Structure 1
Amino acid sequence: MQPVLMLCPGLMSDAAVWAPQVQALSAKFDCVVVDYGLRHSLADMARHVLATAPADHFALAGHSMGGRVALEVMRIAPERVSHLALLDTGIQPLAVGTPGATEKAGRLGLVAVACDHGMRAMGQQWLPNMVHPDVRGSALFDTILDMLVRSSPEQFAAQTQALLSRPDAAPVLPIITCPTLVLTGEQDLWSPPEQHAAMAQKMSAAVLSLIPHCGHMSTLEQPDAVTRAMLAWLQR
């Protein structure tokens, strides 16, 4: 039986966000992409991962919001995770004061656009700053946008609620001792390299990987580089 690799997608993402890695890794790993349904807290999503995963050990990777879900898995049951990968993600809770209010207003504004005008209209506003400038207007941009459109306004609202109520994950980092990959795009404006470098320093077995010419959607923007980093991580 092959070892299991649980793959947690990010906001509004489905199995397509991990498709290049699943294709490359499935010869050696049983790759399972998590579906969050309408769960509206990161803790509930993490419990769903644990209920879906094997009872013993499994490898775990999360992209963006999925990285935060993976950290909640580590908070609940670190002994079950053999390897951890955190891609284009973060650990901070919603900021207090004006910064937090600004983020909340922006996220809820996008939910309103999705409900009133549809997911495509919302995605056309949200996606350009999530990718490297060279991706904008490309076939890949359209592919990612199509993925967002497959999500529903109800799913988007539930995941937005989960992110707005996200806990502080900083206390989780020191307890992580398994082989860990911390990866982000060098041009990721939402989850920048310096944020990931700080995260990696707080984990005893973390390796930092910065992907050139890459924004937030690293698994699709630079799939070969991400897959190589994941293969090296899984072999540790």
Structure 2
Amino acid sequence: MRLYTRSAGEGLPVVLLHAFPLSSAMWLAQREGLAEVCKVITPDLRGFGGSVLGGDDPSLDVMADDVVRLLDSEGVDRAVVGGLSMGGYVTMALCRRHPDRLLGVILADTKAGADPEAARSNRERIAAAVLQEGASVLLKELLPGLVGQTTVRSRAMVFGRVRGLVQSAPPTAAAWAQRAMAGRPDSFDTLRAIKTPVLVIVGEEDEITPPAEADAMVEAVPDGRLTVIEKAGHLSAIEQPEAFNRAVAEFVAELAGGSAPRG
């Protein structure tokens, strides 16, 4: 299958995996803002942003293997790999399946626990509904929780951009991804086994994967640091890109042997 990717900059390769149900377009501010400190690679996960969905059964492992094939095609042996929300789930799957490809890990606005039964059932309900009714289901069911209250109150342009990204989600990809996320395992053992440094980022207003989830991940990893981004919700990279980029740049500098402080 083909995985669309967009790259910017030179230096340490940093792969950023997008949230559900968005595309790599969410990383525009990161491609621009981080290009001076690293090579930013922002693929579209299968089915999103023009990439091919293919015929595989829904699985985050499939997505993780896609990312490794992308690294191979780019000639990248090891990279810093990170993701936000669903992208974080894919990152943890990659940590589990391909730990030798990692220089560092970034987990943003995501969580390590598996879905309880009620959440899995709700994902299946949304998957079925989006196939019948289209992206309007995602706007109604998901959009209200994707950004923080500060963004809702005072950043109309940001909220409008997020709405447009959600509205652009292909229904078949959205349904496939919901089912993939529903089937994901608990990843706390995966976190405990990570041998590289880990940066955990969370928006202080994130109600989908709140700061308590971030705290639990930092406690699980052997070498972790936490950055809480003020006045941001679940899409912290879009809502507060400067703060997000600063945290990533400091982490990358640390990995590259710089003296940046831990977040």
Return the TM-score normalized by structure 2.
Answer: 0.82
Quote the offset at 1:121 in angstroms. 4.5
Residue range with higher mean Cα deviation, 107-116 or 10-19:
107-116
User: Is contact 1:9–1:62 with CA below 8 Å preserved after alignment?
Assistant: yes
Q: Determine the structure 2 residue equivalent to 1:57.
A: 78
Unmatched 5+ stretches in structure 1 = none
- Partner SS, residue 93 of structure 2: helix
User: Is contact 1:132–1:187 with CA below 8 Å preserved after alignment?
Assistant: yes
**Per-residue deviation, residues 18-43 of structure 1 (Å, max 9, x unmatched):** 11111111233222112222262110
Map of 1:73-152 to 2, 5 A cutoff? 73-95=94-116, 100=117, 102-136=118-152, 138-152=156-170
Residue range with higher mean Cα deviation, 214-223 or 118-127:
118-127
RMSD: 1.7
**Per-residue deviation, residues 41-65 of structure 1 (Å, max 9, x unmatched):** 1100001111111442111111101
Q: Determine the structure 2 residue equivalent to 1:17.
A: 26
User: Is contact 1:127–1:145 with CA below 8 Å preserved after alignment?
Assistant: yes
- Partner SS, residue 119 of structure 2: helix
Mapped partners of 2:93, 2:127: distance in 1: 24
Which of structure 1's runs of 4+ aligned residues deviate more than 3 A? none
User: Is contact 1:113–1:122 with CA below 8 Å preserved after alignment?
Assistant: no
Mapped partners of 2:136, 2:158: distance in 1: 15
Mapped partners of 1:25, 1:134: distance in 2: 25
Letter of the aligned partner of 1:127 in structure 2? L
Map of 1:1-16 to 2, 5 A cutoff? 2-16=11-25
Quote the offset at 1:92 in angstroms. 1.1
**Per-residue deviation, residues 186-235 of structure 1 (Å, max 9, x unmatched):** 11111111111111011121101111111101100111111110011111
Structure number with higher helix proportion: 1
Gap change, CA 1:121 and 1:44, over 3 Å in 2: closer
- Partner SS, residue 142 of structure 2: helix
Unmatched 5+ stretches in structure 2 = 1-9, 47-52, 255-263
Q: Percent identity?
A: 26
1:197 aligned onto 2:215: yes
Q: Determine the structure 2 residue equivalent to 1:167.
A: 185
Gap change, CA 1:55 and 1:24, over 3 Å in 2: closer
Residue range with higher mean Cα deviation, 46-55 or 119-128:
119-128
Letter of the aligned partner of 1:131 in structure 2? V
Q: Determine the structure 2 residue equivalent to 1:27.
A: 36
1:210 aligned onto 2:228: yes
Q: Considering Cα pairs closer than 8 Å and 6+ residues apart, tell me whether 1 or 2 has the greater RCO.
A: 1
User: Is contact 1:120–1:145 with CA below 8 Å preserved after alignment?
Assistant: no
Letter of the aligned partner of 2:163 in structure 1? L
Letter of the aligned partner of 1:3 in structure 2? L
Return the TM-score normalized by structure 1.
Answer: 0.91
